[in-house]
Amino acid sequence: GQQLNQSPQSMFIQEGEDVSMNCTSSSIFNTWLWYKQDPGEGPVLLIALYKAGELTSNGRLTAQFGITRKDSFLNISASIPSDVGIYFCAGLLYNNNDMRFGAGTRLTVKP
């Protein structure tokens, strides 16, 4: 099936630094989503993007729906220790019923 390529696989950053991660695919998606998962918990929806070119913020998080509809990025500004976790991108295909997940970006923030 259609795969999402998420990078980087892991990041080790200092508190206060900005973070950027992205997802790409060879397929066109109708919706891009970004989730965060803490250990032992389910993913929590951070940002949903519905239109090509859309740029949406949620606090220190900013995400964009790529103009080609085949990619998306997530930026975290001024990282803090509670940003630690695994970030997953997800895309909904044209029928809005088929959701694909990236493999995740594991973020570690050093105080």
Partner 1 sequence: EADIYQTPRYLVIGTGKKITLECSQTMGHDKMYWYQQDPGMELHLIHYSYGVNSTEKGDLSSESTVSRIRTEHFPLTLESARPSHTSQYLCASSGFIAGAYHNEQFFGPGTRLTVL
Q: For binding to partner 1 (CB under 8 A), which residues are involved?
A: 1, 30-31, 33, 35, 40-45, 48, 86, 88, 90, 92, 96-97, 99, 101-104, 106
CB of 21: closest distance to partner 1 in angstroms?
A: 14
Which one, 2 or 68, has the nearer CB to partner 1? 2
For residues 45 and 67, which CB has a smaller minimum distance to partner 1 in the complex?
Answer: 45
Rounded to a whole number of angstroms, the minimum distance from the CB of residue 23 to partner 1 is 12
CB 106, min distance to partner 1, A: 7
Q: Considering beta carbons, is residue 80 or 99 the nearer one to partner 1?
A: 99
Got the DSSP string for the chain?
A: ----EEE-SEEEEETT--EEEEEE-SS--SEEEEEEE-TTS--EEEEEE-STT-EEEETTEEEEE-TTSSEEEEEE-S--GGG-EEEEEEEE-TTSS-EEE---EEEEEE-
Q: Looking at beta carbons only, is 13 or 103 nearer to partner 1?
A: 103
CB 83 within 8 A of CB 92: no
Give least dist CB 44 to partner 1, A. Answer: 7
Beta bridge partners of 11: 107
